[in-house]
Structure 1
Amino acid sequence: MLRKMPTLFELFGFVLLVIETLTGMAGNGFIAIMNCIDWFRSRKLSPADMILSCLSLFRFSFHVVLIQAEISNLFFVDAVQMLNLKISSDSSWLFLNTASLWFAALLSVLYCVKIANISHPLFLQMKRRFPGLVPWLLLGTVVFSAITTTVTITGIIMTKCNIHESHLNNNNDSTIDTTNSCEFLILLDVFPNLPPFMIFLISSILLLTSLWRHKNLLRNSARDVSTEVHLNAIKALASFSILYVTNVFVEVLSIVLSWMGINDNGVHLILFNVIAAYSSGHAIILIFMSPKLKQELIKILTR
């Protein structure tokens, strides 16, 4: 059943979300396709390409879930009765988002151990071993995300906890529990985002610090070209760090607002747009940071 006509602000936010979603799907799809072509040609993938491929595929799928959730939320009033759709959407949202945050954290760690110039024995040991552990870490990430999603969604169904209710409907159901019985589920919903956030933050700070020091050394040596390259890398990493931190903050805020019963469409459209902008923006940064991807994109656009 269709709901009442959306307001002008809601329509504007939805159009913006569609643009961001299509941009993110195009960017992440391009990265995944290019890596698949390289894998088909060489029969192998580097650790960085493995992470990028998984990250792009999961983000592509996440954009599909994101736009489907907002369509249900904005244009359909009886989504609460579509139990199967709601459970599927919530499960997909949690699983894909958790896995994507972990993949992004692993990518940051990989860049850190490959590029950062740190002489600590523990860092040097990680520098040697981490690339070989990437396939197992990717598998562990998928398993961990699946387990936490299953436990959280099962708890939401059993306790009728209003954690993700606002993703799919605007109704205040008196049977939905927002008391202390939901606190554990809220922590369980937020917790999977915190470890990758801390890992990403630490590795990004180490990498940015190392690049900044190296840039200063190159500047003192009057190597302008290398200095410019490092400066561009710092700008790209700093931009991604801002996007990542903002996304995690918005994800937590969305959960808290839902638990508090704040189901305003305008508020959640803003949050959804920020989440979509993070994924789309990072895909663009990754493409322009990679000479290979950037060159392939230029070839496609100039044909």
Structure 2
Amino acid sequence: MTSLTQRGFVFVMTIELILGICCNGFIWLMNCINLIKSKKMSLSEFVITSLAISRICLLLIIIADIFVLCYSNLDETSITLQIINTMWTFANFVSIWLATCLSILYCLKIANLSHHVFLWFKGRVSHVVRWILLASVLFSFFISLTLIKDFSVSCIYKQMTPTANCTEDMRKKKSANFLKYLLIALWMVIPFIMSLISHILIIHSLRRHTQQMQNNGTGSRDPSTEAHTRATKIILSFLFLFTVYVVAFFIIMFGSLLPDTKLAWITGEMFLAVHPFVHSIILIFSNNKLKQAFLGMFQIKK
């Protein structure tokens, strides 16, 4: 990678990371102020606040990753990079699952469907979201522990004198690691599918509601329809950003298989950093309290 390419990459990433940290920091600060004033926090506010905190941590880890890879001579087996990769994996999975929980929460609160399974989940929305959050955090922690164990084994192999048996063991270990990373990447598909299902249900609910309003001759601009339409636009934006995020994650995960590993990593990181910033902007302008506070900072009237 040339010096000019590296400088351009650092410049673009710096802008994305600063904007992402500022937007998520704003969400966290405003929700904390509302919590102090009202002495309570709704489930959606808790999920959004937790999502903002996880993204701030993720962006800070990406900053450390960029600094180490671009301005140091550490190789991929160094302890520093291994610790950063472990922290990145944990923060990434927590952030993804929090965003998925937010999509599920919107679906259960906004969509109007008569299926008994959907009604069962809708009546237990708080329990469903809490259990998903708990399971996602535990799984992310388990994956991080697995990476730490693998990194310690790699360090042992690195310190050993190369032999035929050692080389064969390293080859087997690389094959096992590839399978493990493939399973980790496939795990990303699960929250993506859950988010996609949530989006499809909301769009289906909007279509049914619009048809009912037209059949009743009451028009299609009632408050419920407008709420459905706003939610559909927001969630479609979430889905598009989530798709970009998953593609970037796969590029980073399997970058070692491409001819130019560093270029693949740069491309993945640049797309990865877009998601926390743009998604947070959408969250701010889709929430009345956050939107009023944000516009008030710039003395802009609604």
Using structure 1 for the length normalisation, give the TM-score: 0.84
Structure 1 Cα separation of the partners of residues 176 and 135 of structure 2:
30
Structure 1 Cα separation of the partners of residues 294 and 279 of structure 2:
16
Residue matched to 1:68: 64
Corresponding letter in the other structure for 2:52:
S
- Indicate which of 127, 134, 148 corresponds to 2:129: 134
Residue matched to 1:299: 296
Does residue 114 of the first structure (1) align with residue 87 of the second (2)? no
Aligned positions, number = 284
Instruction: Map 1:51-62 to 2 at 5 A.
Output: 51-62=47-58
Structure 2 Cα separation of the partners of residues 287 and 176 of structure 1:
48
Corresponding letter in the other structure for 1:73:
L
Corresponding letter in the other structure for 2:242:
Y
- Indicate which of 278, 282, 296 corresponds to 1:281: 278
Instruction: Map 1:1-303 to 2 at 5 A.
Output: 6-80=2-76, 82-83=78-79, 85-159=80-154, 177=171, 179-215=174-210, 221-224=218-221, 226=223, 230-258=228-256, 260=257, 262-302=259-299
What displacement does 1:190 show? 1.7
Structure 2 Cα separation of the partners of residues 153 and 262 of structure 1:
27
Corresponding letter in the other structure for 2:22:
A
- Structure 1 contact 95–145 (Cα < 8 Å) conserved: yes
Corresponding letter in the other structure for 2:96:
L
Larger Rg: 2
Structure 1 Cα separation of the partners of residues 187 and 152 of structure 2:
19
After TM superposition, the structure 1 stretch with the greater mean CA deviation from structure 2, 35-44 or 207-216, is 207-216
- Structure 2 contact 251–264 (Cα < 8 Å) conserved: no
RMSD: 2.6
Residue matched to 2:164: none
| Structure 1 segments unaligned to the other structure (5+ residues) | 161-174
Corresponding letter in the other structure for 2:86:
S
What displacement does 1:41 show? 1.9
Q: Secondary structure at the match of 1:78?
A: coil
Corresponding letter in the other structure for 2:218:
S
